[in-house]
A = this chain, B = another copy of it.
Amino acid sequence: MNEPAFRRARSAQAKQAREEAILDAARALGRLRGVRDVTLTDIAAEVGMHKSALLRYFETREQIFLELTAEGWRQWSAELRGDLEGRTQATPAEVAAVVARSLAARPMFCDLLAQAPLNLERNVSIESVRCFKLVTLDEVGLIGAEFRRLLGLTESQCIDTISTATGMAGALWQMASPGPRLRELYTSDPRLGHAVVEVEPRLTRVLTALLTGLGATSATRA
């Protein structure tokens, strides 16, 4: 009598297990060789499915990676807020260091942050973009609440700060990870010394100055 319900449940569970396996494969390949070089065929081969079967679970390669970007936002935000919530006070430099460290510790998320607006959001359904945007806006709101509490920023200043942190994490990671061929060029030609970029120190300096400057601005206005 309750067999149909049971079968549906098992099927829903099986579906979820398959989706998880696909996301695991995409995550592993993306970490290994960078998101840019991972195709749908690669993911299907890694998970041991045919490409056409995989497309029953996800719309496109881009939807898989957009899903991983949303996951990255949730995990980064949770870790960052976990650190900030334990503080009753913090200087701009301390907040900047925590934000930069938490982003630099997530190289694939940095990669995805740059890929999302360029590539991932452009080859998926409108509904997928809507879901993704709602996740990011939620997390921006939650992180912003901590920035407001610790540094007295306005909502707009919080959004500008998170946009700079994630935008620069994406851009700097791409510059810092040019592949072995270009890294060899940058380190072998002394004229190209400044082409070598390190994500965490530069992001820390930029966010420290940004938060200091925002604080200075609100202080002048107060």
A interface list, Cβ under 8 A from B: 36, 92, 114-115, 117-119, 121-122, 126, 129-130, 133-134, 137, 140, 156-157, 159-160, 163-164, 167-168, 170-172, 174-175, 178-179, 181-182, 185-186, 189, 191-192, 194-195, 197, 202, 205-206, 208-214, 216-217
Subset of 28 A-B contacts with CB under 8 Å: A36-B122, A114-B114, A114-B171, A115-B118, A117-B171, A122-B182, A126-B181, A130-B192, A133-B192, A134-B191, A134-B192, A137-B191, A137-B195, A140-B194, A156-B205, A160-B202, A160-B206, A163-B168, A167-B168, A167-B172, A168-B168, A171-B171, A208-B213, A208-B217, A209-B213, A211-B213, A212-B213, A213-B216
Contact partners of A160 in chain B: CB under 8 A: 202, 205-206, 209
Copies in the complex: 2
